[in-house]
Amino acid sequence: MVNSVTVFKTRAQGSVAAPVLVLAHGAGAPADSPFMELLAAALSAQGVTTVRFEFPYMEKRRQDGKKRPPDRQPTLLGHFRAVIAEACAGVDGQAGVFVGGKSMGGRMASILAAEPGIDDSVRGAVCFGYPFHPPGKNDRWRTDHFQSLCRPIQIIQGTRDPFGRQAEVAARDLDALDNVNLAWLEGGDHDYRPLARQSESREDLIHQAAATAARFMTREV
């Protein structure tokens, strides 16, 4: 069993055998942040069940209120694997299990999708606002593992995300790689906030992201 203090499950609306997305939070906000709540609700409306969880450092923050930096990558991945194992054990195989996350959580999901030993039940990964590089540091790309993905990934990115703007990503031709799918939210930043002059709201962009994710998962199932 996972020694997890916080797990949020949002069931799909009107679906018996819905895809299940094990969804990790970003580096600085918990599993029940406004973004994650809106995303889980939007995915539910698209027929996707989400299982949100918190990494150990965020669990400790919930307990004592003290902010901490993220755990080291091996700890993050180990905890993620344990949550996946529980999710896969309790899901009908026909529904399909996917891994994903916001920013750092999505990056960890993509790394798991590149592991040869990933659970057979996991069909792919979905990354909401992928941190391609630290803002302003275009020499530190975090995409080397894309070359060895064992499962397909869907990245859903705002066009003006400072962690990887559309022009920067397009120049690297990443969507030409096997198993890499890219979708863009016009005007969105790292948290899918649009430009003030846009007619779409943040909620609109989150719903667009959820619809893209659901199409990807349905196709892979």
Residue-wise pLDDT tens digits, 105-135: 999 999 999 999 888 889 999 999 999 999 9
CA 109 to chain CA mean position, Å: 7
Name 158's bridge partners.
185
**Fold for domain 17-98+108-218?**
Rossmann fold (3.40.50)
Boundaries of every domain in the chain: 17-98+108-218
Q: Which residues contact 42 (CB under 8 A, 6 or more apart)?
A: 203, 206, 207, 209, 210, 211
pLDDT tens-digit readout, 19-53: 999 999 999 999 999 999 999 999 999 999 999 99
Residue 95 pLDDT level (bands cut at 50, 70, 90): confident
Question: What pLDDT does residue 5 have?
Answer: 43
Is the predicted pLDDT of residue 1 greater than 50, yes or no?
no
What CA–CA distance (Å, rounded) separates 123 from 140?
Answer: 28
Q: Which residues contact 194 (CB under 8 A, 6 or more apart)?
A: 186, 187, 188, 200, 201, 202, 204, 205
- In this prediction, residue 221 carries a pLDDT of 80
- The token pair at 181 is 């799918």
Between 100 and 1, the more confident residue is: 100
SS3 27: coil
